Amino acid sequence: MPELPEVETMVRGIRPVATGAVVSRVEFCRCTRRPIPVIPDRRLFRKGIEGLTISEVTRVAKRICIILYNNKHHSANARPSAIPIAGIVVIEPRMTGLLLTADPPTTAHRRVCFHLNQNSTPSAFEFWDRRGLGTLTLMTPEQFDDLKQRIGRDALEISVQEIAVFCHRTARPIKVVLLDQSLIGGIGNLYASEILFRAAVSPERPANSLSDQEIHRIQQEIQTVLLDAIDNEGSTLGDGTYRTALNQEGGFQNHHLVYDKEGCLCSRCQRQVIQRIVQAQRSTFFCSHCQR
Ligand SMILES: [Zn+2]
């Protein structure tokens, strides 16, 4: 947590405020908690960003990416797409990180505030992180390309054929394979369980034992579940940590069918209860009757 739908919701939440704005000031908030990593370091991060213009807010798997260019070196009528990228801020929320445009859930866990200026109108968004495991990295275009190379095809873009290629090569359980970010980008523990339940495939199946039909169903459910979760602005679990940019709860937790439902009667078959097993140190939830 947060996974692709939550990160996509964060991107969409700050995009209207950030796109086209100049970063007037980067403020590291006074925070007495464990400090979050800022790479290369706080001084260079601030120096490398202040004064630049945000051309685009996008996403690579479970990271928010803020693309920056230097507007001062170009004539006013130059199209942003024609101007070279000066740097990219890559924000990885990890466990409890959030991007907010509204007031944060607590003031004690505010980390970094990006003060913006859009046609002389000030605005801002901030990074908030309760546990402090999130990271902020200022990358060069080359470093950003390297990052994209290391991550598999985005879960919303991957084809049946691409999933089949890596499944045929490994006997690891399909649940574990879906979490491997070098093969497919964006799926985490929560959505992997929900996707496999809807695809009616056991999380313990060796990936290379799956039929073409099963792989097809998995690809379909990846799309359906993630897009539905984005429409619902992500999942806010019992701990209440995940919030939208406006500091509101997501809604997809009300659509979960198996995640964190150990012992509940399966909603599909009404015969078996949902079981919890541990795979690669992570909890998996499934119905042994519906998933084969
Ligand atoms: Zn069932």
Residues 17, 122 share a domain: yes
Residue position matching structure tokens 């009757």: 289
Residues 121, 22 share a domain: yes
**Ligand 1 centroid from CA 196, angstroms:** 12
Residue 24 pLDDT: 97
Of the candidates 12, 38, 13, which has an alpha carbon nearest to the alpha carbon of residue 27?
38
* CATH code, domain with 180: 1.10.8.50
Residues 141, 167 share a domain: no
Residue 83 pLDDT: 80
Q: Which are the contacts of 209, defined by CB distance < 8 A and separation ≥ 6?
A: 171
**Ligand 1 centroid from CA 168, angstroms:** 27
Number of domains in the chain: 2
Q: What is the DSSP string of 104-158?
A: -S-STTEEEEEEEEETTEEEEEEEEESS---EEEEE-HHHHHHHHHHS-EETTT-
Its domain, for residue 133, covers 4-150
Which of 87, 119, 150 lies at the terminal end of a domain, its last residue? 150
Q: Write down the catalytic residue from 2, 5, 93, 203.
A: 2
223 in Cβ contact with 153 (< 8 Å): no
69 within some domain:
yes
Q: Please name every residue paired with 121 in a beta bridge, in sequence order, or none if there are none.
A: 118
Residues 138, 71 share a domain: yes
Residues 87, 45 share a domain: yes
15 within some domain:
yes
Residues 117, 12 share a domain: yes
- Residue 261 annotated among the catalytic residues of the structure: no
In this predicted model, what pLDDT tens digit does every residue of 191-229 receive, in sequence order?
A: 999 999 999 999 999 999 999 999 999 999 999 999 999
In this predicted model, what pLDDT tens digit does every residue of 248-286 receive, in sequence order?
A: 999 999 999 999 999 999 999 999 999 999 999 999 999
**Ligand 1 centroid from CA 286, angstroms:** 8
In angstroms, the Cα distances linking 176 to 179, 269, 273, 280, 283 are 5, 25, 22, 7, 11
In this predicted model, what pLDDT tens digit does every residue of 120-163 receive, in sequence order?
A: 999 999 999 999 999 999 999 999 999 999 999 999 999 999 99
Residues 204, 190 share a domain: yes
In this predicted model, what pLDDT tens digit does every residue of 88-125 receive, in sequence order?
A: 999 999 999 999 999 999 999 999 999 999 999 999 99
Residues 250, 212 share a domain: yes
Which of 150, 183, 214 lies at the terminal end of a domain, its last residue? 150
240 within some domain:
yes
Percentage of the chain exceeding pLDDT 90: 91
Q: β-strand 135-139 against 38-39: which pairing, if any?
A: parallel
pTM of the model: 0.95
pLDDT value at 48 more than 70 = yes
Q: Please name every residue paired with 127 in a beta bridge, in sequence order, or none if there are none.
A: 99, 112
291 within some domain:
no
Which of 134, 150, 166 lies at the terminal end of a domain, its last residue? 150
